[in-house]
Amino acid sequence: MSKITFLGAGSTIFVKNVLGDVMLTEALQGFELALFDINNNRLRESEQLLLNMKESIGSTCVIKTYTDRKEALRGAKYVVNAIQVGGYDPCTITDFEIPKKYGLRQTIADTVGIGGIFRNLRTIPVVLDFAKDIQEVCPDALFMNYTNPMAVLTNVLTTYGGLNTVGLCHSVQGCVPHLFEHLGMDTTGVKTKIAGINHMAWLLEATKDGVDLYPEMKRRAAELQKEKHHDMVRFELMLKFGYYVTESSEHNAEYHPYFIKRNYPELVDRFNIPLDEYPRRCIDQIKGWEAQRDAMLSDKKVEHKRSEEYASHIMEAMETDIPYKIGGNVMNTGLITNLPKEACVEVPCLVDRSGIQPTFIGDLPPQLAALNRTNINTQLLTIEAAITGKKEHIYHAAMFDPHTAAELSLDDIVSLCDDLIEAHGSWLPSFK
């Protein structure tokens, strides 16, 4: 029996989407769906929900839970990773509250920035442990990483874990539909091309019947910027740098030095930036799950429609040899020629029985490559800190982070990193 292993299966709603999609896919019937999580209560909740879905869908997939990670992985053909090390409490709270003492405010803190750096540092050792198990019990498995920070973790799993890895993010497939809906434009017949790095990939082309749509997109965006709306940062980036970016405005507000500045608080209001957005989402998600859990787990006829998540489509393409196109995070093996080869990039990929096949992009427009490199600098130095165990590289990663460097002095950056290392305690490995 072929096996799909889900690491972090306590993320019940995400499990519902990804494995619900699997149960609706003909080519994946009969697969074992192996669930693993360190939280046994959440693991059992996900199991019950999937059992309900299996009955209502009529799937022949076999659902099985594991408390031994290596056994969950043994013989797997596909592995889905959706863990969050440290969760909302205590680690996310720490990532937000300690920087506030230095006047450094954040919105999401899961990609770069000071929060992204420390999220990486506590997650990298865990995923490298995954890699050791996989090398032993399912070395040929495709590892589909959904965990943030996406670029760094996918890089580490490939470069140091030796895994067949692709990073998958929702922002690519959602970018164009959300943008065109906001602009009041029709996506029918529109051809697009997206590439860059995770959470900062660029809509490089948008054409219809050979006509470039960007002039009209920018005209409408400029009109919308006259009033407050939810996507002001991305529209500002498009109007100033020429291209629209995949990930949301609340994310991109903290990837650049231009928007969240304590000496210019009016910018936060002007660009409608939701500071402390991620902690609020965490609280709302926890309350939301508590409110719907009992009803959902007792519903024997729970419904599911196949989602836009890439995972089931990738597995289907590999099982059937019917090609499918995704936006995937992979190592930069000459794919984007003006970004570092050590970086993980996000590019269109073709999937079939041969696996993930990235496409060549060439040079990005120079201003976009420059913006990407500002984030890649911090990503690569974070990896250096994690692999060498040297504290100095944590400082370097933070010193090169665009938002952190725009707000704090070098001495304050070092002091902030030291405070975060102490506060995270055993959630982090030892650094020298």
**Mode of pairing for the β-strands spanning 164-168 and 142-145:** parallel
Determine whether 170 is an active site residue: yes
pLDDT in tens, 32-91: 999 999 999 999 999 999 999 999 999 999 999 999 999 999 999 999 999 999 999 999
- Domain boundaries 3-168, corresponding CATH code: 3.40.50.720
Residues tagged in the binding site annotation for Mn(2+): 169, 199
pLDDT in tens, 95-148: 999 999 999 999 999 999 999 999 999 999 999 999 999 999 999 999 999 999
User: pLDDT at position 408, please?
Assistant: 98
Q: What percentage of the chain carries pLDDT values higher than 70?
A: 100
Closest CA to 170 of 326, 320, 371, 66: 326
Q: C-alpha distances in angstroms, 344 versus 51, 223, 395?
A: 37, 35, 21
Residues tagged in the binding site annotation for substrate: 148
pLDDT in tens, 419-431: 999 999 999 999 9
Instruction: Please name the residue ranges forming H helices in 225-365.
Output: 232-241, 249-252, 266-270, 277-298, 310-320
- Overall average pLDDT of the 381-400 stretch: 98
d(CA 284, CA 290): 10
Task: Please indicate whether residue 368 or residue 170 has the higher confidence score (pLDDT).
Answer: 368
pTM beyond 0.85: yes
Angle at 276 between CA 270 and CA 280, to 5 degrees: 120
- Overall average pLDDT of the 269-287 stretch: 96
d(CA 194, CA 177): 13
Residue 201: Cβ-neighbour burial (10 angstroms; 0-12, 13-18, 19+): buried
d(CA 337, CA 348): 15
pLDDT in tens, 7-39: 999 999 999 999 999 999 999 999 999 999 999
- Overall average pLDDT of the 377-391 stretch: 98
Q: What percentage of the chain carries pLDDT values higher than 90?
A: 97
Residue entry with tokens 């939301």: 288
Residues 286, 88 contacting (CB under 8 angstroms): yes
Residues tagged in the binding site annotation: 148, 169, 199
- pLDDT of 320 higher than 90: yes
User: pLDDT at position 1, please?
Assistant: 78
Q: Which range (3-12, 291-300, 362-371) has the least confidence?
A: 291-300
Quick one: CA dihedral 318, 150, 128, 386, positive or negative?
Answer: positive
pLDDT mean across residues, the chain: 97
Residue 397 amino acid letter? A
